[in-house]
Each structure stands twice: as structure tokens, then as C-alpha cells.
Chain A
Amino acid sequence: MNKGIVLAAESPIRGRRFGFAGGSLVAFVVLAIASWGFILLVDGGDLLGLFSGETWNRATDFIGQLAGRGSRSEPAFLQPGEWARTGRLAYETLAMSVLAIVFAGIGALLTFLPAARNLATGELAPSRSPVWRSLFFVVRGAYMFLRGIPELIWAMIILFFLSPGILPGALALGLHNLGILGKLSAEVVEDMDPRPARALRVAGAGSFQMLAYGIMPQVLPKFLTYLLYRWEMVIRTTIVVGFVGAGGLGREFRLAMSWFHYTDVALLLMWYLLLVVAVDMLCAYLRRISR
């Protein structure tokens, strides 16, 4: 309550807060002008051409083809057999997303402890050795690298070595999300209430006991929330790693696009939307019972 009143009184664009945030805003506006200038003047982006009749015709044509106009056979989304065939792909896609979250979750659980500042160097540190301390920078750096590279790039690289299927897709999604989940979990440990762990330590608990009874009970519920939130993101991205051949709906989407089977594309998009909505609803339910 009070926060709102204070904020209203000293608006962020005034006073001490102006310094960095205001400067950043100005920098962003300059960047925006430069970007639009570059795109419109140098890069050949044509804003007016976008609203020309030709663009309009092509767009409506395309939407018409998605809906089945001009196709010789019956649209794919009206054939039960096609629904069944693509349903198997949707099932694969779902499995891929769950496997990706399993990879990311296990990876994050195994590595996030040294990445928390208060466990690396703070009062809760189990060890004062420089090896343990430097592990903080190693793991944080690895998280940065893993999440900095988008899933699609990971998939392109992994598909150089692994044969297509749901494994490379899940691995690519898992690596990227490991970077995100690890960082988020480490931050949860940094923000947790240190008193239970401190009390356990004073009472003579070992490092493992402190971890099991002082830290994990606080971290796990938040970890689960983040896991579910990432799953919602992963199910949306499965289609993307599929594009480069990782299997599931995305792969079929790409094939259908290149064969101009537009009613297949429409059917695949329907399955994709169904999956996204179903996962969102499932996550809402799981979040409720984990509370």
C-alpha cells in the first residue's frame, strides 16, 4: 500500500532514480531511432510496401489456402485419419517437452548449490577452499553460456551428431533451460531465509543435514514453480527445434510448408494450439496443488 503512494509522490522520472534508469530510457530511445533508421533506409525494409495491394493479396491468398481454398483433396483438418496421424506427432512433441524439462531440472538440481553466492562465499558456505569458491564463477559462467544460446542453435549443433528424433530436441531445449533454471534456483537460495540453516549449523548439523532440512524445504516449492513456468515455455518452443529436424510437430510443419500442403499446416497449428492450452491448464492445476 505504502509503496504505491511513495512511488506516486516521487515519480521514477525524477530525483535520484533518474540517473541510471532515465539515462537507459534515453539510450533506448536513441537505439530505437537508429534501428528504425537503419532498417528503413539502409536495410531495405519497406513500411509502405507492406500496406500495398500486392502484400494484401498474398496474405489473404495464404490464409485462404490454410483454410483449404483451392486444394484438390479434402482439407486435412476435416479428415479423422489425418487427425490421428498428426495426433501421434503431438504425443511425441509432448514427450519431448517433458523430457527436456527432466534434463533441465535434474541438471539444475545437481549444479545450483555452488552457484548461490551465500553458499559459495557467505556464512553458509560448507567449505572455504578456493576450489569451492571458484566453482561459483565456473557454474554461473556455464549457466550464462547455456542460456545465452537459443534452443534452435543448440538443436542445429546437436543434430550434427545425433540422429533426428525427440532426443536431440529434448537435449537442445534441456540445455537452454538448464541455464535459465539453474540461475533462477541459485537466486532463490540467495534470497531465502538463512535462519533455519544457521540454526541447524549452530546446533551441530553437518553440511548435508543443513542442506536437507534448512535449505531444500525452502527452495523446492519455488523450484517447482519455475519448472512448471519453463515447461509452459518449452511446449511453445518444441515446434521450433522440430523445424531443424528434431522430430514432432515442428518437423512435420516444415515438411508441409515446403510441399505447400497448407491444410496440413493448419491442422498442425491446431494441434500445437491445443497442446499449448492443455499444458497451460495442467500447469495451473499443478501449481495449485504444489502450494
Chain B
Amino acid sequence: MRRLIESRGFLTVLLVAALVWSVSSVDWGGPLVHTGGFAALLQFLRAILSPEVSPSFVIVALGASWETIAYAVAGITLAVALGFPLGVVASGVLVRSARARWPAMLGTRFLLAFLRSIHELVWAWLFVVAIGLSPMAAIFALAIPYGGILGRIYADILNDVPAQPLQALRASGGSEWKVFLYGRLPIALPDMLSYTFYRFECAIRAVIIMSFVGIGGLGYQILLSLNDLLYNEVWTLLFFLVALIAVVDIWSNAVRRRLVS
């Protein structure tokens, strides 16, 4: 039995079953397309040839892009401030005795798992209800799940540091704090920074998504233009969005390649 459920053949069966089940769970007989849906689709696709480029609208798009960047950056800085201490505790590297280490590690790991398992948009919604429609709602909503992810990854990176240089520090009489400051952290830092930069890229997308609950930025402008059926404006904003993501993507990739060689 154990050999059966751990075999490659069983995996194939599972994957095929998932495919069949998911495709069959769509109600293919029902009305899939709106009445007039195809006409709207054609209209939308045709608008790609004539995006709105009037100066006044480009200024709106630029302002929205900056807002998006600002929220993402602020959210990430807060997420680092939250994730770093939690990650250090969750890695358990500061405590030498196993009995004191495990409860703290398990507790913080569980907390981190909870923080990151709820999507940032759900957090945004809860924050908007709790503190009102303020940029702070977006920043906190971003910082909580991202702090959870960063903390978990930081903990893993800190744990994966090779033991030999640390042994050398310990042998020369360093306390765990000193071993952390002069051995573990400098070794782990490039990987930690690299992952943070990757998350920055994701944060831009996350902020765009949060527009849905009324947080300003590119996503909000897309929502407005889409509601007014101004497809030309939608395309302009989509191009801005893709360009923004592309720039951040290229930047973060370049940084990461140099940090982790």
C-alpha cells in the first residue's frame, strides 16, 4: 500500500484525475458568455491600438504609479521591521539550550504561518473596516502577510548558515549574540536582501490589487476607467503597470544576481 501511494504511476493518476475533475466541475452547459460579451471583448481588444495618451491622463497615470510605488516601499519596510525580529526568534539561533529554544521557535513559527496564510487583500479589507480608508490600511495590510513570509524565509536562511565559521567564533569564546552579529548575520545577509528584493516586486502587484477596497494607485485608476467603459484609458494604465513591474523585475533580478552568486 505504501509503495503504491508513493509511486510515480500513482502521481500520474492523481494529476489526470485532478484535470478531469476540475474541467468537469465547470457548468459548460450554462450561459458562459454575457449577452453582448463578444462585442464588448472585440471593443476592448480594438482599444489596444489607441491607448489614451493625452498629457492630462498621462499625468494621472504617473501620479497613480508613484502612489503604488510609495505604498509598496512603505509596506515592505514595515514588513522587514516585523519579519526580521520574528525571523530571528523563529530560527532559534540566539539560544543555546534546547529546552528554552523549542517553545519560542514553535510559537513564533506558528505566528508567522498565521500571518502569511491570509491574503493581503483580506487583511486590507479588515483594516479598512477597522481603521477607515487610509494609506495606513494598505501599508499594514501589506506588512502583515509579507512580514510573515519574510520572517519565515529569514529564519530558514539563518538556520542554513554553514556551521564551521560559527564554531570558530564559539571556540574563541563568543556568546551566541556575538556569534550572531559577527558570523551568522553577515553570512546570511546577501540571501536575506535578495529575497527581500524579490518580495518588493510582489508588493507592487499586491498594492495594485488592494485598489479593490478603495486604496489609491494604478489599480484604482484601472477600476475607475473600467467602470466608465473607457477601454483606451484601461490600456494606457495596463501599459504603465506592466512597465512598472518590468522595471522593478529587472532591477530586483540584477541585484539578486550580484548578491547570490
Residue ranges of A at the interface with B (Cβ–Cβ < 8 Å)? 1, 3-5, 7-8, 11-12, 17, 19-21, 24-25, 28, 31-32, 34-36, 38-39, 43-47, 49-50, 55, 58-59, 62, 92, 95, 98-99, 102, 144-145, 147-153, 156-157, 160-163, 165-167, 170, 236-237, 239-240, 243-244, 253, 257, 269, 272-273, 276-277, 286, 288-290
Residue of A28, A145, A162, A239 near B33 (CB, 8 A) is A162
| Interchain CB contact under 8 A, B70 and A160 | no
B-side contacts of A237, CB under 8 Å: 119
A21/B125 contact (C-beta < 8 A), A4-B164, A150-B219, A166-B25 known: no
| Interchain CB contact under 8 A, B26 and A50 | no
A-side contacts of B60, CB under 8 Å: none
Q: In the complex, which residue of chain B has the Cβ closest to the Cβ of A145?
A: B242
B-side contacts of A162, CB under 8 Å: 32-34, 37
Give, as a whole number of angstroms, the nearest-CB distance from A247 to chain B.
Answer: 10
B135 on the interface (CB 8 Å rule)?
A: yes
| Interchain CB contact under 8 A, A20 and B258 | yes
| Interchain CB contact under 8 A, B117 and A277 | yes
| Interchain CB contact under 8 A, A156 and B226 | yes
Residue of A149, A167, A286 near B11 (CB, 8 A) is A286
A-side contacts of B226, CB under 8 Å: 156-157, 160
Chain B: how many interface residues by the 8 Å CB criterion? Answer: 83
Chain B 1-43, CB-CB to A under 8 Å as 1, else 0, gives 0000111101100100011011101110011111001101100
A36/B223 contact (C-beta < 8 A), A7-B186, A289-B8 known: no
- A-binding segment of B50-58, B71-79, B96-104: B71-79
Give, as a whole number of angstroms, the nearest-CB distance from A52 to chain B.
Answer: 9
- 10 A-B pairs with C-beta separation under 8 A: A5-B162, A17-B258, A20-B255, A55-B131, A95-B21, A98-B18, A102-B18, A147-B245, A160-B44, A236-B119
| Interchain CB contact under 8 A, A167 and B32 | yes
Residue of A31, A55, A92, A166 near B73 (CB, 8 A) is A31
Q: In the complex, which residue of chain A has the Cβ closest to the Cβ of B210?
A: A152
| Interchain CB contact under 8 A, A236 and B117 | yes
Chain B 239-253, CB-CB to A under 8 Å as 1, else 0, gives 001100110010100
Residue ranges of B at the interface with A (Cβ–Cβ < 8 Å)? 5-8, 10-11, 14, 18-19, 21-23, 25-27, 30-34, 37-38, 40-41, 44, 66-67, 69-71, 73-74, 76-77, 117-119, 121-122, 125-126, 129-132, 134-136, 139, 161-162, 164-165, 183, 186-187, 189-190, 193, 197, 200, 205-206, 208-209, 212, 216, 219, 222-223, 226, 234, 238, 241-242, 245-246, 249, 251, 254-255, 258-259
| Interchain CB contact under 8 A, A12 and B129 | no
B-side contacts of A1, CB under 8 Å: 162, 164
A-side contacts of B10, CB under 8 Å: 289
* Bound form: Cα–Cα A290–B34 in Å: 41
| Interchain CB contact under 8 A, A149 and B136 | no
| Interchain CB contact under 8 A, B27 and A99 | no
| Interchain CB contact under 8 A, B242 and A44 | no
B-side contacts of A38, CB under 8 Å: 66, 70
| Interchain CB contact under 8 A, A102 and B122 | no
| Interchain CB contact under 8 A, B74 and A35 | yes
| Interchain CB contact under 8 A, A289 and B209 | no
| Interchain CB contact under 8 A, B209 and A152 | yes
A-side contacts of B76, CB under 8 Å: 32
| Interchain CB contact under 8 A, B136 and A50 | yes
Give, as a whole number of angstroms, the nearest-CB distance from A143 to chain B.
Answer: 11
| Interchain CB contact under 8 A, B165 and A4 | yes
* Bound form: Cα–Cα A236–B113 in Å: 13
| Interchain CB contact under 8 A, B11 and A289 | yes
